[in-house]
Amino acid sequence: MNQEVSFYEVKKYKTGILNWILSTDHKRIGLLYLYSILAFFIVGVCLGLAMKLELIAPGKTIMEAQTYNAVFTFHGIIMIFLIIIPGLPAVFGNFLLPIMIGAKDVAFPKLNLLSWWIYVLGAVVALMSQFMGDGPPDTGWTFYAPYSFKTSTTMLPAIIGAFILGFSSILTGLNFIVTIHRMRAPGMTWLKMPLFPWSLYATGWIQLLSTPIVGITLLMVVAERTMNIGFFDPALGGDPVLYQHLFWIYSHPAVYIMILPAMGTISEIIPTFSQKTIFGYKAVVASTLLIAFVGYFVWGHHMYTAGMSDTAVWLFSLMTFLVAIPSAVKVFNWIATMYKGSINLKVPLYWALGFLFLFMVGGLTGLVLGAVATDVQVHDTAFVVAHFHFVMFGGVGTAFFGAMHYWFPKMYGKMYDESWAKVGFYTFIVGFLLLYMPMFWLGMYGMPRRYYDYLEQFHGGNIISSFGALVLVAGLAIIIINLVTSARKGKKAEKDPWHGKTLEWQVDSPPTLENFDTIPVVEKGPYEY
Amino acid sequence: MEKVTTTHEHDHYDHEGSKLGMWLFIFTELLLFGGLFITYAVYKYLNPEAFHMAAEELNVGVGAINTVILLISSATIAMSITALQQNNIRLTKVMLEITMMLAITFLINKYFEWGAKISHGIYPGSDHLMEMSRGEILFYGLYFFMTGLHALHIIVGVAFIAVVYSKILKRKVNAERYVLLENSGLYWHLVDIVWIFLFPLFYLIT
């Protein structure tokens, strides 16, 4: 086989698309995920924008209350289950993990393709809920019992879809763990492994150990709806609060499935653009594992107002605060890495800095929610929505765009347009702050979440927020259009445009089918400048 | 750390890696059932009397027979692995055939056991069940759900073993490359161990 051609040129089938959807090449699978996620992201953003337009004025603006309920439910299902959970691991993990550890592919390439197919199946089943039966689901993405088995809307496809998507997530995590255990290049000991693979390793364990719990919980809701087994129905002896426990036993660790790879990405970008080794490599690794570990024991903080013993509330609050410590360790290490580095201020670093700022706001407001007294005030208000979007969109989202720009030359062999990328970044940040900042205040003053209507006193803040949504969408459009046109017409990229030190910068852009002609032997740590 | 054997992309065979993958998958299965065991524990704690009463209605004899059947089948599949390692294909096949027969016997017993309950009007959502206490409704809900999910795993396990069996016939699974058989054995032991917990929780707690 000609080792010079990129993986794009290697074609097994005559029909173009079969080369993608039947490919077991980790790079093609990563891109398959990228395009699927991008498609769903556009839908999810449109739904989010629709909600913000509804909230631009009190009362009915563009949709009925029931439509609004369906829209926020579907927005949540898409953004959580279809985008942000697979997100960084499925796209960049697939594309880069084998290259970064010096392997030719993941441990189970066929299983990898299967998880993409399961993802598509799950997505199709979940989407069916919108077009079947008595209207789209209206429970919110959390499917809280008892409403999720009492409502007459089409719940089953949405719940079963989420269950199937969980399977896909488990298989990806399993694949990555085995890959990291078995396929690191000779000489790459655990503590010579780059930090993005480390974050994928921790994420893999969370995917593996927490997803089954939500899987079985969703199956119980299905049994409840179809067979009348009263697991969570008080009339049949069940307990709806137990549903919340089981749901959050998964869904809180799930936010670490989302944020850990984002942190891993930032840990790659910052050393490269500071041309300096990461400050406290071991501390960053340890904090990654600690976040993954402690993250299992904090789920109760979603349920302070749901009825729990005071001791449990106290413990969950304490554990929640503990998560702040490893998170802060990371932030300090990133800043210390930049200190006295030779900063190369390029767009990926812009996004990393954006991440730092937005994630800090999101993290600190998370402590407001983790403390019991303040949580009771802001529980189920716009404050929670603002916090969540700061961590998820401001954190994971910016890291995703950072990763997109950082590894763009490697994935496409082209450079993006620097000035448009900057315009996109600034528009995004301005729109983001306008959209979500006012929601902190609105929530503090008592505006509840998940209502299509509000009191007149909240009008001002909502106008700013809705205007911000428009700016944000414009920013997203600029970013996406810039990347798409650059992938077609951009300047040709070199092997190592950023002077990075990790292994992916030693292979061709875009890589060849088997990544490496010969498997490299690793002698140094990942960030030795 | 052992070195990975990568001769060619389509000929990648990593015994340890495959086994590790199977163990990880078994963890997820344990946690899947774990969610149900938690639910069981909570409701047993809240309704000790009702669980006691309802459990007395289950047929301990059939449950015990099924336990013995699964234990023997775990032994036979383990023997088939050793037989294959020693390149005794005939014995491997016999042992796997016995394993599959035992699994199907388990399912037949289960069918009659469920059938008896259903003919007495005890099944999720039945009028007769709704007249019982809440604890009993929960007990039978859990009983049908958990043993049902377990039976589903038996079916998947048999299918898995059947696939491996056909690969042994084609010599694709052989004395050098037996990890697939070993993995099906691991899976089968999982199905077995889950039943080892289900049996006392539903049949013996009286």
A205 — pLDDT class (breaks 50, 70, 90): very high
Give the CA angle between residues A417, A419, A421 to the nearest 5°. Answer: 65
Enumerate residues 153 to 182 of chain B having a beta carbon within 8 A of any beta carbon in chain A. Answer: none
Q: Give the best residue of A104, A229, A522 to mutate against chain B (max B CB count within 10 A).
A: A229
Mind listing the pLDDT tens digit for each residue in A113-127? 999 999 999 999 999
pLDDT reading at A101 higher than 70: yes
Nearest chain B residue to A189 by CA: give it.
B1
CA A284 – CA A330 distance, rounded (Å) = 6
Q: Which amino acid is at B35?
A: G
CA distances from A402 to A88, A90, A230, A346, A382 (A): 11, 16, 46, 10, 27
A143 phi-psi bin (left φ>0, alpha ψ -120 to 50, beta other): left
Cβ–Cβ of B28/A208 closer than 8 Å? yes
What are residue A414's phi and psi, to 5 degrees?
-130, 160
Q: Which residue of B has its CA nearest to A216?
A: B32
CB B196 within 8 A of CB B81: no
Residue B7: band (very low, low, confident or very high) from pLDDT cuts 50, 70, 90: very low
Domains contained in chain B, CATH given: 19-204 (1.20.120.80)
With beta carbons less than 8 A apart as the criterion, state whether A250 and A244 touch: no
Beta carbons within 10 angstroms of residue A53's beta carbon? 15
pLDDT in tens, A318-372: 999 999 999 999 999 999 999 999 999 999 999 999 999 999 999 999 999 999 9
Q: Which residues of B touch A170 (CB under 8 A)?
A: 25, 28
Tokens 């993405």 appear where? A141
Name the one residue in this structure whose structure tokens are 């009190």. A58
Contacts of A353 (CB under 8 A, 6+ apart): none
What's the pLDDT score for residue B129? 87
Output the pLDDT for position B130.
87
Whole-angstrom distance, CA of residue A291 vs CA of residue A205: 12
Contacts of A235 (CB under 8 A, 6+ apart): none
Tens of pLDDT, residues A372-423: 999 999 999 999 999 999 999 999 999 999 999 999 999 999 999 999 999 9
Look at residue B11 in the predicted model and tell me its pLDDT: 59
**Closest listed residue to residue B205, CA positions, set B148, B150, B154, B139:** B139
What is the pLDDT at residue A3?
54
Q: Quick: pLDDT tens for B85-115.
A: 999 999 999 999 999 999 999 999 999 999 9
Measuring CA to CA, which residue among A81, A70, A222 is closest to residue A162?
A81
**pLDDT at B8 (0 to 100):** 43
CB A372 within 8 A of CB A309: no
The string of DSSP letters for A462-517 reads HHHHHHHHHHHHHHHHHHHHHHHHHHHHPPBP-S-TT---SGGGGS-SSPBTTS-S
Please check the confidence at residue A14 and state whether its pLDDT lies above 90. Answer: no
B43 inside 8 A of chain A by CB:
yes
Yes or no, beta carbons of A211 and B20 under 8 Å apart: no
Tell the residue number behind the tokens 């795993």, with chain if given.
B153
Cβ contact, residue pair A213, B135, below 8 Å: no
Q: Report CB contact under 8 Å: B24, A216.
A: no
Q: How far is CA A69 from the centre of its chain?
A: 23
Q: Per-residue pLDDT averaged across B78-88, rounded?
A: 96
Q: Using alpha carbons only, how large is chain B's radius of gyration in Å?
A: 20
What six digits make up the tokens of A328?
A: 């802060």
Give which of A135, A114, A132 is closest to A65, Cα–Cα.
Answer: A135
Instruction: Work out the minimum CA distance from B88 to partner chain A, whole angstroms.
Output: 29
Mean pLDDT for the stretch of residues B121-138 = 89
Alpha carbon distances (Å) from A196 to A99, A268, A358, A391, B60? 12, 7, 20, 19, 53
> How would you class B10 by CB atoms within 10 Å of its CB: exposed for 0-12, middle for 13-18, buried for 19 or more?
exposed
Please give the ipTM for the structure prediction: 0.92
Q: Would you state the pLDDT for residue B6?
A: 42
Q: How many CB atoms lie within 10 A of CB A495?
A: 15
The burial of B24, by beta-carbon neighbours within 10 Å (0-12 exposed, 13-18 middle, 19 or more buried), is given as: buried
Which residues, at least 6 apart from B88, have a Cβ–Cβ distance to it below 8 Å? none
Q: How far apart are CA A527 and CA A337, in angstroms?
A: 11
Extract the tokens encoding A165: 């998507």
Please report, for chain B, how many H helices and E strands are present, in that order. Answer: 7, 0
Q: Is A118 on the interface with B (CB under 8 A)?
A: no
Helix, strand, or coil (residue A414)? strand
Half-sphere exposure of residue A227: CA atoms within 13 angstroms, side-chain side: 19
User: Do the Cβ atoms of A185 and A503 come closer than 8 Å?
Assistant: yes
Nearest-by-Cβ selection for B9 from A105, A108, A209:
A105
Q: What domains can you pick out in chain A, each with its CATH number?
A: 16-503 (1.20.210.10)
Contact A464, A434 (CB under 8 A): yes
Reduced to 3 DSSP states, what percent helix, strand and coil does chain B have, rounded to the nearest 5?
Answer: 80, 0, 20
pLDDT at A4 over 80: no
Q: Residue A22 — very low, low, confident or very high, per pLDDT cuts 50/70/90?
A: very high
CA B4 to chain centre: 32
Residues 6+ positions from B148 with CB-CB distance below 8 Å:
none
Residues 6+ apart with CB under 8 A from A307: A241
Q: Does A187 touch chain B (CB under 8 A)?
A: no
pLDDT at B10 over 70: no
Residue among A27, A24, A51 nearest A470 (CA): A51
Q: In this model, does residue A77 exceed pLDDT 60? A: yes
Q: Is the separation of the CB atoms in A210 and B46 below 8 Å?
A: no
Query: In the predicted model, what is the mean pLDDT of residues A473-498?
Result: 95
Determine which of A2-16, A46-60, A267-281 has the lowest per-residue pLDDT on average: A2-16
